[in-house]
Amino acid sequence: MKKIFAILAGLLLIGSVIGVASVTAIPDSTYITPNKINYAIGENVIVTSNGGYDALETPDGVLSYVSTKSEGSTLIMTWKAEKSGTVKFYNKNTSVLIKVAIDKPTPMQQFMKILGFGKKK
């Protein structure tokens, strides 16, 4: 019984050291966070970052620029999805891939449209 407690205490100590080391290892890490990953054409793409963007890879015309807002050290950029494609936001520490596609109606939406209950566009 004492051996089990000694092994568990040792594993707990090793786990806590590894956990603290991993949290404190990168003090100036940056992040890029979109409000979601999959977008439909016409939606606003809002991307937040604490370190800015070094680059944005986008096929021609997928996103159009709307605005930039800075809140302290946080950068908030808004784009509008114009056509289908894949966009990659990245900086030196991280990258995010988002997809823009045509919003496909679900079978229930099609059925509601046939009955006259769907949204009129």
For residue 116, the 8-state DSSP code is: T
Please provide residue 8's backbone torsions phi and psi, each rounded to the nearest 5 degrees: -65, -40
pLDDT value, residue 37: 85
pLDDT value, residue 85: 86
pLDDT value, residue 84: 86
Q: What is the pTM of this model?
A: 0.57
pLDDT value, residue 27: 47
Which residues fall within 8 angstroms of residue 85, CB to CB, at 6 or more apart? 58, 59, 62, 99, 100
Under 8 Å between Cβ of 95 and 32? yes
- Give the domains, in start order, of the chain with CATH numbers: 28-115 (2.60.40.10)
In which residue ranges of the chain is pLDDT below 50?
Answer: 27
